[in-house]
Structures are given as structure tokens and as C-alpha cells.
Amino acid sequence: MQDNAKIEEVLSTLDKGLPQALDRLMEFLRIPSISTDPAHKGDVRRAAEWLCAELTSLGFDASVRDTPGHPMVVAHSPKGDRRALLFYGHYDVQPVDPLTLWDRPPFEPEIQDTPAGKVIRARGAADDKGQLMTFVEAFRAWKEVHGSLPTDLVLLFEGEEESGSPSLRPFLRENAAELRAGIAMICDTSMYADGRPAITTQLRGLYGEEITVRAADRDLHSGSFGGLAANPIQILVNALSTVKDSNGRITLPGFYDGVEELSNELRSDWEDLGFDPTEFLSRVGLKHPIGEQGRTGLEMVWNQPTFEINGITGGYTGEGFKTVLPAEASAKVSFRLTGAQDPEAIRETFRAHIRAALPADCTVEFHGHGASPASRMDISDPAFAAAKSALSDEWNREAAFIGAGGSIPIAGDFKELLGMDSMLIGFGRDDDRIHSPNEKYDLTSVAKGARSWARILAALN
């Protein structure tokens, strides 16, 4: 642990250097590094090179590493005898269309006053350039005060996060020995509602499936065949209606194997968040939670598995009416998974459920989409308590361990390929408009985000 005087010196260095930190962030934001658009391929590389130069100037051993797609930036601080920390961020950004909905050019960042405080407005301000610069600025201030970087840091920056990360897993596999650390710090998430600092410690997994049920070898007229011939829409509808019972509980045999009840520690943290499911649903025009009876709202979205029909189509769906019995019908469904649920076992059980619903002369074709288990971090690792305490000190509010209902593939990839847990700590806000026109990042997040990392670095040193 560092002594308190040194920490305070790093924090005040950050405060004094904020104008320069903002200048650097604005320079970074001016590079239109849109990874999905081939026209911006050169810009994406330019952003990687900008970042590499920054890190080199701070004393990192940094390099731009080619992949079949956009490059990675990897940087190392000097070796020491500490438990290594890997920091992850991505320097590519989302496309900007529709451009007409932006108040200003998306790659000409500006500091603006808003009723809720100052913000920096540009594409990538929050996702993820502004966020990744919070830890880069923390390293800079640390070096200024201590004369050297913290030892045993590994930095990994990706340029394909907004286009599906096709090169990431091969890169992690090929460079596992170089990249493996004690724990990963991922700075690409938001704070909990109302700006409460939080560490995401569990993420639901996902298993998706496309189902196509076929009956007759052509579309039939319901006047000639209705009542006699099987209707694949009805077969599909019947099969999908019995995956959940009337209490919202999934009926597939063995489905809940591996689902774990919430620990008392997390239950207490989550209750303390004061989540009101009715208020949350009211923002989208709803009122009534439909999850399993007896579960809290946060359990429903973070700790309970789900079954959802994401799309369905069959027969005539245009204007007017057609009395057709279609030849086929299909649906896309997905399960969110928790605890130690096994996606492959559930895939088999689900497919068997659909097959059992087929009349003798109908067929089904499956097309699987992804199958990743849930991520659960080992919060008994003392690094979690230390980081939580550091965040609480900075924000003057008790930080919380929270869950996430969606998947963040990078956390699963780090676990699977490098064997390390992740701490997901970010300073975004719900209203940052990431992926939308007029993206912004609060200046509070810029300033206190960097200070948070300085405190975490001190706590873990």
C-alpha cells in the first residue's frame, strides 16, 4: 500500500492537469476510427498509432500489433514483483449516421454546459475513448509523482469492438503468455443509476437458436387442406408456448441445474440499490414484472435465467389476408444463463423439446447462435474489496457489486482463454447516448474516473 500523502499528491496532480487531459482526449476524439466502415480503415490505424505514441511517451513498452483486421495496441510497464493487472479498452467507435440528428460534427468534440453539468460531446466520448483515457491519465499522474510507472501493468486496446471483435480470440490465444495477468480491469461499462460507483461481478450467459419447422412441401390453401394438413405455425407456437409455465418458470428438464441463489453479501448490496422494477418498466411504457414469482426485480434481470422469443415469422404477413397454410415457420429464440448452467446441455434439452412437439411427418432444422456460459467473478479475491473501497472513497458513496443482464464477451474470453477474472468498472452514465447521435461523457466522469483508477492502483499496489 502507498502512504496517504502520495495518493493525495497523485489526485491533486490529476486535478491540476485536467485541462491538458481534456486536450489530449479531444485530439484522440478527432480521429474518426469507425471500425465497421472500410473507408475509415486508415483512421482506425491512426487512432492505434496515436495511442501507442502516448503510451510510449509515458514509458510503456508499447506496440501496434497487426491482426487480419484492425490492429491491437499492447503495452507493458516495467516488470516488478506485483500481481500483474491487465487494463482493457477499445479505441474504435460506432458509425455516426444519421448525421442529421447530431447537433454538431461528431468528430469535432466540444465541451458543453448542460443543466446536469459540463460534458464533452463527440462520437466515442463515452464509448470508449473517454473511458480508456481515465486509466491512461491515472498512469501519467502516477508517474509524475512517483517518477516511474506502476510495475506489472499490461494494457490491451482493441480496434474491432464495435464490429464484433473477429480478431480478439485468436489474438488472445496466440499471445496468452504475454497477456495473462492476475486480474483484468475492463473500463467499458456505466455506473449504476444516479451515478453510484459500481463493479460488475456477474454477467448472464447466452445461448441462441434459430428453429425452422416444415410441414407440406408447398404452401396450401386452407379451404382445401385446413383441418387435415399440419400447420407449421401452429406446431411452432405450441412448442414455444410450453417452454415456460404460467409462473414464468422454464419447464425444460434439468434447466435450472447450476443456477445459484444469490449470496447474502450480493443480496444485501443489490437490495441497497433500491431498484424499483415498476419505475424501471414505466420508462418503456410497462408496469408489471413478468419474471418468476417471488424474485426481486434485480434477481429477474441479473441472477435468473430467461427464455425469450426474439423473432418469429411464418405464412402471409403482408397487407390484407391470405388463407394459406404455409410450408414452414421459423423463430429465433435465446436463453440468458446464470450460475454454472451449461449452454450445450440446455441446447440439447431445448432441441429435444421442439422435436417432441412435431407430428410424425414434420421436420425441424436448427441453427445455433452462440453458446456462452454466465461469468461470475470470485469476489472473495481481496482485490474486489480493495477496489470497492477505493471507489467508495472517491465518490463519497458506497460502491456496489452489481450484475449485468447482458453478456460482455470480453470478460468470458479473458476467463476462458487467459484464466483470469475481470473487474468491470466504468464511469459512463445512462444518458451518454452511446451508439446514438450526440454521444457525450460527463466531465465528472473524466476527472473522477481518473482519480478512481489512481486510488485503485494505490489500493492494489
Among positions 406-435, residues that touch a copy of itself (CB under 8 A) are: 406-407
Query: Of 2-10, 131-139, 178-186, 320-328, which part binds a copy of itself (CB under 8 A)?
Result: 320-328
* Site membership for a copy of itself, residue 436 (CB under 8 A): no
Cβ of residue 315: shortest distance to a copy of itself, in angstroms?
Answer: 4
* Site membership for a copy of itself, residue 57 (CB under 8 A): no
Q: Where are the alpha helices (DSSP H) in 103-200?
A: 129-146, 168-174, 176-179
* Site membership for a copy of itself, residue 310 (CB under 8 A): yes
Query: Of 15-23, 74-82, 183-191, 274-282, which part binds a copy of itself (CB under 8 A)?
Result: 274-282
> Residue 265 has which C-alpha cell?
453479501
Phi, psi values for residue 239, rounded to 5°:
-65, -40
Residues 355-374 that bind a copy of itself (CB under 8 A): 359-361, 369-370
CB atoms within 10 A of CB 135: 25
Residues 203-242 that bind a copy of itself (CB under 8 A): 204, 206, 208, 210, 215-218, 220-231, 233-234, 237-238, 240-242
* Site membership for a copy of itself, residue 200 (CB under 8 A): no
Cβ of residue 317: shortest distance to a copy of itself, in angstroms?
Answer: 4
User: In terms of CB distance, is 23 or 271 closer to a copy of itself?
Assistant: 271
User: In terms of CB distance, is 114 or 242 closer to a copy of itself?
Assistant: 242
* Site membership for a copy of itself, residue 293 (CB under 8 A): no
* Separation CA 4–CA 241 (nearest Å): 60
Cβ of residue 316: shortest distance to a copy of itself, in angstroms?
Answer: 4
User: In terms of CB distance, is 372 or 461 closer to a copy of itself?
Assistant: 372
User: In terms of CB distance, is 361 or 365 closer to a copy of itself?
Assistant: 361
Sheet containing 117-121, strands listed edge to edge, beginning at the edge strand earlier in sequence: 110-114, 117-121, 440-442
User: In terms of CB distance, is 32 or 232 closer to a copy of itself?
Assistant: 232
Query: Of 4-12, 117-125, 273-281, 439-447, which part binds a copy of itself (CB under 8 A)?
Result: 273-281
* Site membership for a copy of itself, residue 256 (CB under 8 A): no
* Site membership for a copy of itself, residue 404 (CB under 8 A): yes
User: In terms of CB distance, is 253 or 320 closer to a copy of itself?
Assistant: 320
Cβ of residue 165: shortest distance to a copy of itself, in angstroms?
Answer: 15
For residue 231, what are the CA distances in angstroms to 139, 217, 313?
64, 12, 13
* Separation CA 83–CA 383 (nearest Å): 10
Closest CA to 115 of 341, 459, 442, 344: 442
- Among 99, 116, 290, 352, interactor with a copy of itself by CB under 8 A: 290
* Separation CA 443–CA 440 (nearest Å): 9
Query: Of 61-69, 133-141, 299-307, 444-452, which part binds a copy of itself (CB under 8 A)?
Result: 299-307
* Site membership for a copy of itself, residue 163 (CB under 8 A): no
Beta strand ranges found along 328-442 (DSSP E): 328-337, 363-372, 375-376, 400-404, 422-424, 440-442
Give the total of residues touching a copy of itself (CB under 8 A). Answer: 76
Cis peptide, bond prior to residue 269, ω within 30 of zero: no
Query: Of 23-31, 52-60, 172-180, 325-333, which part binds a copy of itself (CB under 8 A)?
Result: 325-333
The amino acid that residue 174 corresponds to is E
Cβ of residue 289: shortest distance to a copy of itself, in angstroms?
Answer: 5
CB atoms within 10 A of CB 412: 18
The one-character DSSP state at 304 is S
Q: Could you give the count of Cα atoms lying within 13 Å of 47 in the half-sphere of its Cβ?
A: 32
Instruction: Spell out the residues 6+ positions from residue 159 whose beta carbon is closer than 8 angstroms to its own.
Output: 33, 35, 44, 45, 47, 48, 69, 70, 71, 72, 73, 90, 91, 92
- Among 106, 197, 326, 343, interactor with a copy of itself by CB under 8 A: 326
Bridge-based pairing state of the strands 375-376 and 198-203: antiparallel
Cis peptide, bond prior to residue 277, ω within 30 of zero: no
* Site membership for a copy of itself, residue 321 (CB under 8 A): yes
* Site membership for a copy of itself, residue 336 (CB under 8 A): yes
316 three-state secondary structure = coil
- Among 19, 253, 264, 288, interactor with a copy of itself by CB under 8 A: 288
CB atoms within 10 A of CB 180: 17
